[in-house]
Structure 1
Amino acid sequence: MGISVPDMSGVLTSISESIRPVSEMARSVIEGLAPTYERLRRQFQDIARTLDKRLPANWWGVDDPDWDVVATMAIDEGLPLAWVVPSDDIQRLLAADSGSHRRRILWQRRAPILTACERELGRLQMAGSEYFAERIREAAAALDSAHPAAAQALAVNVADTLGRHYLPRFKHHSSKNGRPSTFDPELLASALVLGALWANYRSYEGGKAPIPRELSRHATAHDVSKRQYSKINALIAVMLATSLLCWLDRRAAITR
Structure 2
Amino acid sequence: MADDERETPQEIEKAPEGARVAQLTPEQQEELRKSLAQVQQFLSRTAASLSVNSEALVAVARAQQVVAESVAAPLLSAQSAMQKQLSTIINSDLFKTRALLQANLNGIAEQLIKNVDFRIGGMATGALSNFAGQYADFLANVQASLVKVEFSFYPPNLREIKNLKFEQVESVVMVDGIPLYGIPRASTAEELIIADSASKRRMLLEQHWKSISEDCRELVAACTAEFTAPYVPFVVAALDALDAGHAEAAQALASSLIDALVGVRFGDDRKNYTPDRSGKRTTEAYDDLEIHEFIAFAPLWQAYQQFFVEKGDAVPETYSRHATAHTVSPRQYNRCNAMQALMFACSMLSYLDFERSQIRAA
What root-mean-square deviation, in Å, do the aligned CA atoms of Structure 1 and Structure 2 show? 2.7
Question: Hey, what's the Cα distance between the residues in 2 that align with 1:125 and 1:141?
Answer: 20
Task: Report the Cα distance in structure 2 between the residues aligned to 1:47 and 1:112, rounded to whole angstroms.
Answer: 30
Alpha carbons of structure 1 residues 183 and 86: separation in structure 2 relative to 1, 3 Å: farther
Q: Give the corresponding residue for 1:22.
A: none
Write the distance in 1 (CA, Å) between the matches of 2:351 and 2:325: 24
Percent of matched pairs sharing the same residue: 28
Work out whether residues 140 and 151 of structure 1, in 8 Å CA contact, stay in contact via their aligned partners in 2.
yes
Aligned equivalent of 1:199: 302
Aligned residue for 1:82?
A: 181
Aligned position for 1:221: 325
Q: Which runs of 4+ in 1 moved over 4 A?
A: 50-54, 181-184
Aligned to 1:93: 192
Matched, 1:170 2:270: yes
Q: Is the 8 A contact 2:307 2:322 kept in 1?
A: yes
Instruction: Determine which structure has greater relative contact order: mean sequence separation of CA pairs < 8 Å that are 6+ residues apart, divided by chain length.
Output: 1
Measure, in 2, the Cα distance between the counterparts of 1:143 and 1:52: 36
Say yes or no: does 1:47 pair with 2:52: yes
Aligned residue number for residue 134 of structure 2 = none
- Which secondary structure state, in structure 2, belongs to the residue aligned with residue 85 of structure 1? coil
1:155 to 254, 260, 264: 254
- In structure 2, the CA distance between the partners of 1:222 and 1:193, relative to structure 1 (3 Å rule), is same
Moved more, 50-59 or 220-229: 50-59
**Structure 1 Cα separation of the partners of residues 282 and 153 of structure 2:** 22
**TM-score by structure 2 length?**
0.53
Alignment: residue pair count: 209
The 8 Å contact of residues 238 and 250 in structure 2, kept in 1 or not, is answered as yes
- Counterpart CA distance in 1 for 2:175 and 2:329 is 22
Q: Take 1:156 and 1:235, find their aligned partners in 2: how far apart are those partners?
A: 11
Contact 2:251 2:338 in 1 (8 A): yes
**1:159-190 deviation per Cα after TM superposition (whole angstroms, max 9, x unaligned):** 10111123342222111263424877x93321
Other-structure match for 1:190: 293
Q: Cα–Cα, structure 1 residues 79 and 179, in superposed 2: closer, same or farther, change >3 Å?
A: farther
Contact 2:235 2:345 in 1 (8 A): yes
Partner of 1:247: 351
Q: 1:246 to 1:229 in 2, by over 3 A?
A: same
**8 Å contact 1:173–1:197 — kept in the other structure?**
yes
**2:183, 2:189 within 8 Å by CA — same for their partners in 1?**
no
- 1:99-148 CA deviation, whole Å, 9 max, x = no partner? 01011112211122111111111111210312211101110110111100
Q: CA contact under 8 A between 1:53 and 1:251: conserved in structure 2?
A: no
The equivalent residue for 2:212 is: 113
Contact 1:53 1:189 in 2 (8 A): no
> Mind listing any 5+ residue stretches in structure 2 that lack a counterpart?
1-50, 54-148
SS in 2 for 1:129: coil
Q: What is the CA–CA distance in structure 1 between the aligned matches of 2:252 and 2:194, rounded to whole Å?
A: 30
- TM-score, structure 1 normalization: 0.74
- Partner letter of residue 172 of structure 1? N
SS for the counterpart of 2:322 is helix
Instruction: Tell whether the 8 Å contact from 2:272 to 2:285 is kept in structure 1 after alignment.
Output: no
2:166 is aligned with 1:67: yes
SS of 2:52's equivalent in the other structure is helix
- Give the AA of the match of 1:191: F
The gaps in structure 1 that reach 5 residues or longer are 1-45
